[in-house]
Every structure is written in C-alpha cells, then in structure tokens.
Structure 1
Amino acid sequence: MLDIVATCLVITALLAYLNQRFVGLPTTIGVMAAALVFSLTLVGLDALGIEHRLWRFEKSLLLSIDFADVLMEGMLSLLLFAGALHVNLSELKAYRLPVAALAVLGTLLSTLLVGFGMYLALPLAGIELPLIYCLIFGAVISPTDPIAVMGILKSARAPKALELVIVGESLFNDGVAVVIFSLLMGMMASGLAPTLGESLDLLVHEAGGGLLFGLVLGYVTFRLLKTVDCYQVGVLLSLATVTGGYALANKLDVSGPLAMVVAGLIIGNHGRTLAMSETTRQYVDMFWELIDEILNATLFVLIGMEVVLVLFSANLLVAGGIAIGVTLLARLLTAGLPVAALRRVFKLPPGAWKVLTWGGLRGGVSVALALSLPAGQERDTVVALTYCVVVFSILVQGLSIGHLTRKTVLCR
C-alpha cells in the first residue's frame, strides 16, 4: 500500500510540475490532460505491437488500486469536508432554494432523463443496454464536480451568487446521487421495483440521517474546539471528525457525503468564528487547503490514467458521443432552463443559466460509482460511457467555461 501511495504522489508531483512549468493550465485540468495523453500514447504503442515496460507498469499499478473504494471510502470525505469548510453559511442560506432544487430535484430528474434518453438513443450506435443499467448510468453521471471549474470562475471574476450556487449544488448532489444509485442497485439485485414508500424510507434514512448525523458531529466538534486553544489539537480534531465520522456514518447506514458537508459547514462557520483563535484558524485553513489541492491533483491524475483499463470499440466511441449530448441536454432541462425561467426567484444574474448548464462538470464520483458496478459487459459499457462524458466535461467544458462566464455574465 505504501508503494502504491508513493508512486501515485510521485507521478502527480511530476505532472503538476510539468504543467506549472511549461503548460500553465489549471492544475487539476493540466495534470489530468497530461496523464491522459501519456496513457493514450502507451495504449497506442501497445496497439501497434510495441510493448513497453511503462505500459505494463501503469496497468499493473491501476489494477492494484480499487478506484471506487479509494474515492468513496477515502478521498470523498476529505474533499467534501474541505470544500464545505470554506463556504459562507450565511451567504449560502440566501440561495438555499436554487441549491436545494438543483441538488435534489435536479439530480433526480437528470437521472431519469439521462436514463430513458440513453435507453432510446443507444440502439442508434448498435448497443443494447438494459433500462436498469441506463438509469444507473443516469445516476452515475448526474452529480457535478466543482473542483476544476471553481478556480476558473474565480479568475473570470464570476458573480459570488453564481459561485455559491455551483458549489452548494455540487456539495449536496454527490450524496443525493449516491442514494439514488443505491436504490437502483437494490432494484437490480432484487429484480423488483421498490414502492414509493420504500423509496421515501431509504431517502429519509440515508439522506435525512446523514444530514442529522453531520449536524450532531459538527456540533460536538465545535464544542470540543471551543474548550482548547492549540492549533495542533484543532487540526487533529478536524481530521478525526472527517475520518472517524465518515466511518461511523457508513456503520449507521446514513449518507457519509452529506454528513461531511454539514459538519464542514458548521466547523467552517461557527467553529471558525466562535471556537478558534486566529492562529488555529490559519493552520486549520492551510491544512485543509493543502489536503484539498493534493487529493484533487492525485484524483485527476488517476482519472487520466484509468483510460488504459477502459475497453473501447468504435460503437462505444459513437455511444460516448451520444452520452455527451444526452447529458448536456439533461443538464439544460434540469438546471439551465429552470434558472432562466425563474431567474428572479433564484436571484441569479442574467446569463447564469448558460454557465450552470455548461459548468456542470463531472468528475471522480461518477467514475468511482461506475467502477463499483459488478463485473460484466454492462459494467464495461457504463464505465466507457462515463469516461467519455467525464473527459469531455473536464477538458472541453472546463477549459471554455471561463470564456463563457466572461462573455455571458460579466458583459451584462
């Protein structure tokens, strides 16, 4: 395990250095692009019959990593807590309507639209995928990832309201998507569609329980922080809250992602202002900013490298293009158009609907959920489709969202 961690960190550090020194792209996008180009080069050489030790080494490295387990049981809790820690709760409350609508209703509707859309469109590419797997793909690809886009929005000086809505939606829709994914996986295993009561019970238990557990966890940590004035202890308490809290949430069968978001909001707001000295605040902020940057960079490198394990064919590449179109259309219908129609209710600037639509990037959570499916041809299809959408959203949408923001929002 130590060798694997060391190897991943060395590769990430080298790619981050090369990007910063010679390319200059945003770190997460740059390291992923570099890893993707390098991996595709090795795949191409192998396809030409030119065997290379690097290709065999990369493949063996990735096979030794359970990507779904590493992200869902490790990285995700730290990333969500770090993201929530720096969100101003009072400002977020002002936009609770659009955030709740996009994170809950938007994710659910997106799952249905993408699922049924892919079920109808995939035969055009010569691929048959059962409806349940199409719906699972819809749940997999619906949660958005703000990691790559937030730095670009800040550099483009996007309105604060727009940043808050994008961050708030992405923090909460991860947990909602995981609940929907679990529900669909249970349906596939049993072969029976759950009743409305059973679905609501699961939603209340996992999502509601996660929110309540996060509230208790955050409050307990806040009270502990208030009784000490030592930055070392403060950092340790925050780290223990995330690692121990996420593990306990899984034991309680409540949503760990939602619990981490709520705990992060409490500690980042009430804890920062009422329970930490200036020195403790500085160290806690710096610690979690570093954790956030390191894990994000490593995650995106792994996403770029995973291409060597994805089984592609000509039909799957065509289907990947269809999946990109269906996903963007679903994003437009579930986020863009509602915001455009209810802009005054959502209190967002003109043109925000375009940024919300195009800025709905997909990332590590989607890849991890796809890889967690049981082995089989259907899993390979879903993984390939997910990979196409994720790579497109990060490289194409991520690199153009800044220009779109400046053009559509700031010029008004």
Structure 2
Amino acid sequence: MILSITSALALFVLIALSTVVFFASKKFKLPYTVLLVFVGLLLVPIVNLPFLKNIFGFIDDMVLTPELLFYIFLPVLIFESGFNMNMRKMLDSAWVISLLSVVSLIVSAVSIAGLLYFIMPMIGIQMPFIVALLFGAIISPTDPVAVLSLFKECGVPRRLAMIFEGESLLNDGTAMALFLVILSVALTGFNGTETVLGGIFDFTMMIVLGIAIGLAMAALFSKALDFTKKNEFVTVTLLIISAHMVFITSELINHSGVVHVSSIIATTVAALFLGNYSRNILPPKVDEYLGKLIEHMAFVVNSLVFLMAGLLFASSGVDFVHLWLPIVITVIVVALCRLIAVYIVTKPLNAMKLESPVPSSWEKLLAWASLRGALSIIIVLLIPEDFTVDGWTSQYTPRDFLLALTVGCILATLFIKAPLIVPIMKKLNISTEDPLKEAHAADLGIYFLLTERSRLLNFKNKGFINAEHYDVMLAHVNQQLSEAQEKRKNLVNQHGQCIFDQSLHLSMIHVEKNVIKKLLVNNEVSEKTYRIIYSKLCLQQEKIEQAQHNDIDPKAYTDRKNVFDRLVNLVLSPFGQDTPEAQLQQKMEYYRAQMIMARKAVQTIEHMQTTFDVPTFLPEAYEEVSTRYKRYKERSGEKMTALVDLNKDQLSPYLMGLAERALAVSGAKALDYLHENGLLDEALEHQIEAAYAPNGGHK
C-alpha cells in the first residue's frame, strides 16, 4: 500500500470509528471484535451508495496488505501478549499450554486437511491435499481477544484464562512455521520421504533458532535498559521498538537464505523475557506508563485489523453465495477437528497427572471458544496471488478459495460461537470462585468505606456540606459498610478465619513488593539483591494464593519457574564470583531491605487498622500477621546490627554512600512536594538539583 492523502485520512477515520464501536460494544454488552467486523462488513456497501460514494469513497483507499499486517501490525500484537504474560502463572499449566499450542495445532491442521481432501470432491470440488494442508495451518491458530474480553466481564478461573491466552500466544509461532514449511513444499514440489524429513527439520530449526534469536536480542535490549532505566522516554522507546527490531531482524535473516527463523517465535520469546525479567527493574511510573502505552497500541492495531478485515471480506470480490456449501462444510470440519485436537491432548494429560487436571467443563469450553482472527487473516494474505498447484480445477485461484474458506470460518466463530460462549459457560457452571480474592476485596472495600465516612465528617466540619446532605450521604455509606461487613462475616462462616489471615498476608506481600522496588529505584539495593528478594516475595505470594501460607520457607527465593533469572545466572556464572567486599555489602543490603520492608508493611496495616473508630481488618487476623512481621523486622534488624559490628571498617564506605543516597531520596521527595503544589517547573527543578543535590543532582 502506497500512503496517499486519502489513505491517510481513511486510516484516522477508521481509528475514530473503532472508538465509537468500542463504546457501542460496552453499551450493548457485545464482544468488541465481533462488532468491529460487523461494522466493517456494512461499511463497504454503505459508503458505495450513490449519494455517499463521493464523500466517503476514500475509505476504500485503506486496505489490508500482507506487508502492513506482517511487518507493522503483527509484532505489536505479539509483543503486547508476551510482555503482559505472567511466565510463572503460565508455567503452572506448562504441559497443557505447550501441548495445545504444538501437538493440538498440528493434529488440527492435519485432520482438517484429511477431512476436506475426502469431502470436497463429493460436492464437485477437487482440492489437492497440499492445498487442504495449507488451509489447516491457516485456520488452526486461535485468537483470544474476543474470548478474553468476555472472560473479564463474566469472570472465569484464572488458570482457564491463562490456558486460553498461553495457547494463543505460543501457537501463533507454531502455525506460521508450519504454514511456511507447507507453502515451501507446495511451491517446490513433493519428493516423498526427503520432503517430509526436510519439512520436519525446517520446522524444528525455525522454532529453535527463533528461540535463540529472541533470547539473544532480548538480552541486548535488557542490557541497554540497565543504562537507560532512569530516563523514561529512552526506556519506553527502546521497549516499543524492540518488537519490530526482533521481528524484522529475523525476517532479514530469512531473506539471506542461509537459515530460516520463526520471526513470530523470536518476538514472542523476546517479549516474554523483557516482560518477565527486564520489566522488573523499571521504576513504577515508567512501568505504568509503558503498560498503558502498549495496551493502547494493541487496542488500535486490533481495532484496525478487525475493522479492515470486515472491509476486506466485503470487497474481496469472491462470490461467497456461490461458495456457501464448501464454506459451511469447512466450518463444521474445523469445529469438529478442534474438538478432536483438544481431547487428544487433555485426556492423556489428565491421565498422566503431570499437572493439575483440566476439568471436563474446561475441555468443552476450550473446544467451543476457539475463535479465529487476526493471524489467520495475516497468513492467508501471505499466499502469492499467482500461487497454483497441479490438479487445481476451480474457477477461483487457490488463494481466493482459501481466503473464502478462511473468511467463512472467522465469521462463523465471531457471529455464531462468540455470542454463545457466555450461555455455554453458564450451562457448564464455569465461573470464578476465589475466596481469597473475595476476602481481599472485602477488607480493602471496608477500608475504602471507612475512609469515605471519615472524609464526610471532615467535609461537614469544614462547612463543605450541610447537615441534611451529610445525614443522607452518611446513611448511604453506613448501609454499604454494613453490607460489606456482613459479606465478610459470611465469608468467615463459609471458609473460616484463615482466609482473612491469607488476605492480610497477601496485602503485606504487596506492600513489600512496592517497597523493594522503591529501594531499587533509589539505588539503596543492587539489582542482584532486588531480584533475590523479589523472587522470594513471588514464591511467598504463590504459597498464600494456594492456601499454603503456613508452609512458606523464608529462605527460599528461586524455583524451576524462575526461567529467565536462572538462564541469566547460568550465562553470567563463568565470568567470576563477587569479591568478599561485594558479598558483604550484598548481605548488608539484604538484611536492611528486609527490615525496611517489614517495618513499612507493619506501619501500613497499623495505619489502616487504627485510624478509624472501627478496625479495618478482623482483630485476630491483624494480630497474627502484624506479630509475625514485627518478628521479621526484629530479626533482620538484629542481623544487620551484628553484621555492622563485626565489619565496621569494611562497611564504613558503603554506609556513607547509603546515607548520601538516602539524603538524595529526601531531596527528591521535597521536589515532588513542590511539584504537586505548583511551586516548581522542570527548569527550576534542574537548577535546584544542580545547586544543592549531592553530586550535582546525579543520584
């Protein structure tokens, strides 16, 4: 596509239209992507009406091209999914996700090809097996966008949502690699065993090299972030371009002809690494800004893909009415093969008990809710327009025929399957029942309402509201507070006191994570110490979420799920050990950080518990958890004091540097206060830092 003034206008009109569709989807409670495709389908005939064509005819100038989809849109979608994926949660279901994304996809592609190869001749369409296999690879990858949006609205178990999202993330690369291998065979010809073995080798090497390239480039970007993490603009820019840099570099390697790399897998691995390893060291403000920016970019790209897909379907020139029978047959075959592909993986996996079983209701939903979307559109458009094979006799080219089948399957999943997902979930009794989450929400909700009640009294005392309005608003808040307290009482009756011990312990972990991140940003702990403590907190959080908070090992800080940390440590291990002085400082950092974290956690819940006339937390839970953390604080303080007494001379320079950094943090807080109250602009801030901050403001 050559960008012209009309195509540029069409681009921004479509983005504006997608925002209108988004609001409409929320109002009418319809899946957003479904509504986008529907609007796209209607847009072409509407704008081509005689009295509208001269005004809105430019919409046709913006078209989906393979280059636009492949090099611009696809990396954004892959990166957003991988960057926000929790690797530890995904590894809890590693077997089912990996088997669904590889074995299930291959089974689906082959079974679709086999059935279509035998059925299509019965309705007068000779479909060579290689074309059927090509279609199997195109239509087998799943798209979770519409499904996950429905899951968020009605609530599902977190593991089920993770299986859907993890499968979709990983099967994109598998599907693309399989498609490219099959397309290569279709273009060069089939030579028996040699072709089969060569295809398997190429498929395997594309995946392996994709993983290697992804890790290598992610390591380069991660190293760059070590130098730029204090500058949010440079950091965000590096991470935003990383997806396209990895993807396009992989494609350049492919174009060299030396080796073939899966650019999708390379980008996926890089996104997982950057999101689960490098992201942890970013300052909270940068992380929050980056997360929103990536989410917004993915929203715009997804909106354009699905909206323009509707435009593409409506203006493709393929006679869908003439092809209605093969399309209907294909839709049924694809649905049946998905069912087979799911059960062929989950049944043996449940029998072997390698991880938590997949319930029968989940298996049914995995089979039904496997919608197709963006990747299938991208893949089918990669087929050359002049592509043909021996034995093809249809009046349509193989590309147009496969496009028609792909469009039919996508529309069927969006307009038939998607609207029925929620009713099927209700029938299967799939819902989120998380007592810990409910208990946590109850505690925090009560604190929120107590704060509201206190502020109301403050407003009344200051004369902001009159007595009549105060009484009405107070009655409403008290009613909500009574309901929240009653809900908490019911949770205690159903699940026992321990669920609120877990909830409060979880709150402490969240406070500790926030504190250790601040200590890293303020240079009060090294990255190595930070990663040890952060990993330890992640392990403890998982124990709490699994109702095993009494089994927490306070010394444990790593396990098999710390994939990227272990990989980095393995790579760096040959380059030498820390000096005795560095080890001593690290131990000091560790004890001091543990003491500060425990102290801040105790202060936080103590403030929440004692600020109001009614306690926020259940007294028994508060006493148990606060007492435990006070012991943590005392032990860490004692260890730190003993370490300083034994190594006063060696630690003296370090302690002096620590004092200077703490002073710099106090200065930064003073500048933040001036900013919040409008007393300072950026230029004056730099001037004050240069004049008064330690080391001229270079903290």
**Could you tell me the TM-score, scaled by structure 2's length?**
0.55
Q: Which residue of 2 aligns with 1:100?
A: 98
Task: Report matched runs for 1:96-245 at 5 Å.
Answer: 96-193=94-191, 194-227=194-227, 228-245=229-246
Please say if 1:252 is aligned against 2:253: yes
| Whole-Å separation in 1 of the counterparts to 2:52 and 2:284 | 53
**8 Å CA contact 2:147, 2:418 repeated in 1:** yes
Equivalent of 2:399 in 379, 393, 397: 379
Q: Which residue of 1 aligns with 2:428?
A: 408
Give the AA of the match of 2:100: L
Q: 1:212 offset after TM fit, Å? A: 1.2
**8 Å CA contact 1:249, 1:259 repeated in 2:** yes
Q: Which residue of 2 aligns with 1:291?
A: 297
| Whole-Å separation in 1 of the counterparts to 2:47 and 2:53 | 10
Q: 1:156 offset after TM fit, Å? A: 2.1
Give the AA of the match of 2:287: R
**Could you tell me the TM-score, scaled by structure 1's length?**
0.91
Equivalent of 2:43 in 38, 41, 51: 38
Q: 1:201 offset after TM fit, Å? A: 2.4
Q: 1:53 offset after TM fit, Å? A: 2.2
Question: Does the C-alpha gap of structure 1 residues 304 and 257 become closer, same or farther in structure 2, counting only changes over 3 Å?
Answer: same
Structure with greater Cα Rg: 2
| Whole-Å separation in 2 of the counterparts to 1:279 and 1:233 | 14
| Whole-Å separation in 1 of the counterparts to 2:240 and 2:385 | 34
Q: Which residue of 1 aligns with 2:11?
A: 8
**8 Å CA contact 2:80, 2:298 repeated in 1:** yes
1:195 is paired with a residue whose SS is: helix
Q: Point out where structure 1 has 5 or more consecutive residues left out of the alignment.
A: none
Question: Does the C-alpha gap of structure 1 residues 323 and 200 become closer, same or farther in structure 2, counting only changes over 3 Å?
Answer: same
**8 Å CA contact 1:206, 1:255 repeated in 2:** yes
Task: Report matched runs for 1:261-410 at 5 Å.
Answer: 261-273=268-280, 275-307=281-313, 308-340=315-347, 342-343=349-350, 345=354, 347=356, 348-375=358-385, 377-410=397-430
Give the AA of the match of 1:352: W
Give the AA of the match of 2:325: V
| Whole-Å separation in 2 of the counterparts to 1:41 and 1:359 | 31
Q: 1:293 offset after TM fit, Å? A: 0.7
**8 Å CA contact 2:18, 2:304 repeated in 1:** no
Question: Does the C-alpha gap of structure 1 residues 247 and 397 become closer, same or farther in structure 2, counting only changes over 3 Å?
Answer: same
| Whole-Å separation in 1 of the counterparts to 2:120 and 2:282 | 54
| Whole-Å separation in 1 of the counterparts to 2:38 and 2:11 | 16
| Whole-Å separation in 1 of the counterparts to 2:417 and 2:403 | 20
Question: Does the C-alpha gap of structure 1 residues 392 and 39 become closer, same or farther in structure 2, counting only changes over 3 Å?
Answer: farther
Give the AA of the match of 2:305: L
2:371 is paired with a residue whose SS is: coil
| Whole-Å separation in 2 of the counterparts to 1:305 and 1:362 | 17
Q: Which residue of 1 aligns with 2:674?
A: none
Give the AA of the match of 1:281: D
Q: 1:39 offset after TM fit, Å? A: 3.2
Q: 1:409 offset after TM fit, Å? A: 4.7
Equivalent of 2:23 in 12, 20, 23: 20
Percent same amino acid at aligned positions? 23
Q: 1:120 offset after TM fit, Å? A: 1.3
1:351 is paired with a residue whose SS is: helix
Question: Does the C-alpha gap of structure 1 residues 28 and 5 become closer, same or farther in structure 2, counting only changes over 3 Å?
Answer: farther
Question: Does the C-alpha gap of structure 1 residues 137 and 346 become closer, same or farther in structure 2, counting only changes over 3 Å?
Answer: farther
**8 Å CA contact 1:211, 1:259 repeated in 2:** yes
| Whole-Å separation in 2 of the counterparts to 1:71 and 1:5 | 16
Give the AA of the match of 1:338: V
Question: Does the C-alpha gap of structure 1 residues 144 and 190 become closer, same or farther in structure 2, counting only changes over 3 Å?
Answer: same
**8 Å CA contact 1:107, 1:177 repeated in 2:** yes
Considering Cα pairs closer than 8 Å and 6+ residues apart, tell me whether 1 or 2 has the greater RCO: 1
**8 Å CA contact 2:47, 2:57 repeated in 1:** no
**8 Å CA contact 1:352, 1:409 repeated in 2:** no
Question: Does the C-alpha gap of structure 1 residues 61 and 24 become closer, same or farther in structure 2, counting only changes over 3 Å?
Answer: farther
Question: Does the C-alpha gap of structure 1 residues 134 and 346 become closer, same or farther in structure 2, counting only changes over 3 Å?
Answer: farther
Question: Does the C-alpha gap of structure 1 residues 277 and 39 become closer, same or farther in structure 2, counting only changes over 3 Å?
Answer: same
Deviates more, 1:281-290 or 1:31-40: 31-40
| Whole-Å separation in 2 of the counterparts to 1:113 and 1:77 | 29
Deviates more, 1:364-373 or 1:12-21: 12-21
| Whole-Å separation in 1 of the counterparts to 2:398 and 2:58 | 25
| Whole-Å separation in 2 of the counterparts to 1:195 and 1:31 | 42
| Whole-Å separation in 1 of the counterparts to 2:46 and 2:181 | 39
**8 Å CA contact 2:99, 2:345 repeated in 1:** no
| Whole-Å separation in 1 of the counterparts to 2:45 and 2:338 | 29
**8 Å CA contact 2:185, 2:195 repeated in 1:** no
| Whole-Å separation in 1 of the counterparts to 2:380 and 2:332 | 19
* Root mean square deviation of aligned Cα: 2.4
| Whole-Å separation in 2 of the counterparts to 1:54 and 1:362 | 35
1:32 is paired with a residue whose SS is: helix
Question: Does the C-alpha gap of structure 1 residues 260 and 280 become closer, same or farther in structure 2, counting only changes over 3 Å?
Answer: same
**8 Å CA contact 1:370, 1:383 repeated in 2:** yes
Q: Deviations over 1:270-289 (max 9, x none)?
A: 1222x201011111101101
Q: 1:67 offset after TM fit, Å? A: 2.5
| Whole-Å separation in 2 of the counterparts to 1:340 and 1:260 | 31
**8 Å CA contact 1:242, 1:260 repeated in 2:** yes
Question: Does the C-alpha gap of structure 1 residues 16 and 93 become closer, same or farther in structure 2, counting only changes over 3 Å?
Answer: same
Give the AA of the match of 2:291: D
| Whole-Å separation in 2 of the counterparts to 1:85 and 1:207 | 19
| Whole-Å separation in 1 of the counterparts to 2:320 and 2:327 | 10
| Whole-Å separation in 2 of the counterparts to 1:310 and 1:152 | 33
